[in-house]
Chains A and B, each alone.
Chain A
Amino acid sequence: GQNIDQPTEMTATEGAIVQINCTYQTSGFNGLFWYQQHAGEAPTFLSYNVLDGLEEKGRFSSFLSRSKGYSYLLLKELQMKDSASYLCAVLDSNYQLIWGAGTKLIIKP
């Protein structure tokens, strides 16, 4: 079966750095997405990786290793507004999105 694993919850301090990991086992791979979802709101797109390596976008970076079935989202200079759930999703060989359950990130002052 297809599977996406992420930690359920993480806690970090304002101003610090946090890394949210995502491992996947899917039938084929056509890209990996990260979405941010604040409580009670819609998911919003953060990043897309299809090739190995690091993609940097401001305070957020996303890394992919296709050989290891692994990605991480790195958040720097954490702000209180970064408190949210972070969803990892993989586009499989049929171009269907397989979603992880999400990681709830709690930021403490």
Chain B
Amino acid sequence: NAGVTQTPKFRVLKTGQSMTLLCAQDMNHEYMYWYRQDPGMGLRLIHYSVGEGTTAKGEVPDGYNVSRLKKQNFLLGLESAAPSQTSVYFCASSLKGSGANVLTFGAGSRLTVL
């Protein structure tokens, strides 16, 4: 049982380049999330999805796009990377969105934008 898998684990980009982070979960969870984690700050929600074919903006959505074409996959795209997007990105999933909403996280993707 793999849980939540993120690829790639590390990536270096130049300003203006584009890339996609892939998240896959095998727990049949409805909800999926993309967070970024920066030093000295709490996890910040970028985008989330409450089910296949749906997406919604989180706290810091600018500069990112997402898609959830299949229930098990949640893709995070950067169309034109900026140095401010240097961060560690975590994907997470949960069975539901309310109550004891325990998140299962992926191992993280460290992105550096030069």
Q: A98-B42, A101-B40 are in contact. Are A42 and B101 (CB under 8 A)?
A: no
Rounded to whole Å, the gap between the CB of A22 and the closest CB of chain B is: 11
Closest chain B residue to A45, Cβ basis: B102
Query: Which listed segment binds B: A11-19, A65-73, A74-82, A89-97?
Result: A89-97
The answer to whether B100 touches A102 (Cβ under 8 A) is no
Complex alpha-carbon distance, A95 and B41, angstroms:
20
Residues of B within 8 A of A50 (CB): 99-100
Q: A30-B99, A50-B100, A95-B101 are in contact. Are A100 and B90 (CB under 8 A)?
A: no
The answer to whether A102 touches B107 (Cβ under 8 A) is no
Q: A96-B45, A98-B42, A101-B41 are in contact. Are A91 and B108 (CB under 8 A)?
A: no
| B43 on the A face (CB < 8 A) | yes
Mark A23-66 against chain B: 1 for CB-CB distance below 8 A, else 0. 00000001101010000111111001010000000000000000
Residues of A within 8 A of B34 (CB): none
Complex alpha-carbon distance, A89 and B107, angstroms:
19
- B side interface size, CB within 8 A: 20
The answer to whether A99 touches B42 (Cβ under 8 A) is yes
**Which one, A31, A42, A101, contacts B105 given CB within 8 A?**
A42
| A105 on the B face (CB < 8 A) | no
The answer to whether B98 touches A42 (Cβ under 8 A) is no
Residues of B within 8 A of A97 (CB): 43, 45, 101, 103
Residues of A within 8 A of B8 (CB): none
Residues of A within 8 A of B107 (CB): 41-42
| A107 on the B face (CB < 8 A) | no
The answer to whether A43 touches B90 (Cβ under 8 A) is yes
Beyond A48-B102, A50-B99, A100-B42, 10 additional contacts (C-beta under 8 Å) are A31-B99, A35-B103, A43-B103, A48-B100, A95-B98, A97-B43, A98-B42, A99-B42, A101-B41, A102-B42
A-binding residues in B (CB < 8 A):
4, 40-45, 90, 97-108
B-binding residues in A (CB < 8 A):
4, 8, 30-31, 33, 35, 40-45, 48, 50, 87, 89, 91, 95-102
